[in-house]
Amino acid sequence: MSGGGKPIVLAASTSESTEYMRSTWRQMLLAATPARYAQQLRVPYAQEVETQTDGQAKYVPQGLRVIEALFLEKFPSSDIAVSYPDQFPQSIGENTRVIGIHAHNPLGITFATEVYAQFYGADAEPVNAEEFRRTITHPALQKYRSRLGSPFALGSSACLAKLTKTPGNRWSCSTR
């Protein structure tokens, strides 16, 4: 990926993307682990994410791959990066116009995470909530924030279906 970033960047946290031990149940339990204990418990998935030969994320949630497929209908693959937050410095830059961040449990309050976190105390923040916060406050996002516009601009499928590149390489979501 170039230093200027890709025009479209799709991302998901490592706890939501890991293929740790190829077990969905282990993923769920590990994502519910309180963030403050993850390092002490040596939870390996935060460091062990797999990338493809081009440096892009190998495993991300299926919903993010669906969004990627929709973008690929209108834009070349060279315009799209699928990344983990640790890859933001390589994928986000001056050329970036759209960032989509997958968020399954950004507040850490789904039933499973809330129940399991309570075992560790009422103030225990699950890993996936901590990772989401770390993702949206990433320095690369903060640096280019003014260039990106609203984080909810692509929230509707109607907007996504009408996303076009205008003259001058500007991107538009015309709902007319």
DSSP label at residue 135? H
Q: Residue 50: what pLDDT?
A: 82
Q: Residue 156: what pLDDT?
A: 40
Instruction: For Cα atoms 82, 87, 91, give the angle at the middle one, nearest 5 degrees.
Output: 60
């693959």: which residue's tokens? 77
pLDDT (tens digit, 9 = 90+) per residue, 149-162? Answer: 444 444 444 444 44
pLDDT (tens digit, 9 = 90+) per residue, 127-150? Answer: 778 888 888 889 998 888 655 544
Contact predicate 175/158, CB 8 Å: yes
Task: Determine the longest span between alpha carbons in the chain, in angstroms.
Answer: 55
Judge whether residue 51 has pLDDT over 80. Answer: yes
Judge whether residue 82 has pLDDT over 90. Answer: yes
Length of the chain: 176
Q: Residue 154: what pLDDT?
A: 40
pLDDT greater at residue 101 or residue 119: 101
Judge whether residue 87 has pLDDT over 60. Answer: yes
Nearest to 95 by CA among 70, 125, 75: 75
- Please give the structure tokens belonging to residue 174: 């015309």
Judge whether residue 75 has pLDDT over 90. Answer: yes
Whole-angstrom Cα distance, residue 155 to residue 24? 27
Mean of the per-residue pLDDT values of the chain: 74
Q: Residue 103: what pLDDT?
A: 80
Q: Residue 119: what pLDDT?
A: 73
pLDDT greater at residue 103 or residue 31: 103
Question: Mean pLDDT highest for which of 16-25, 67-76, 99-108?
Answer: 67-76
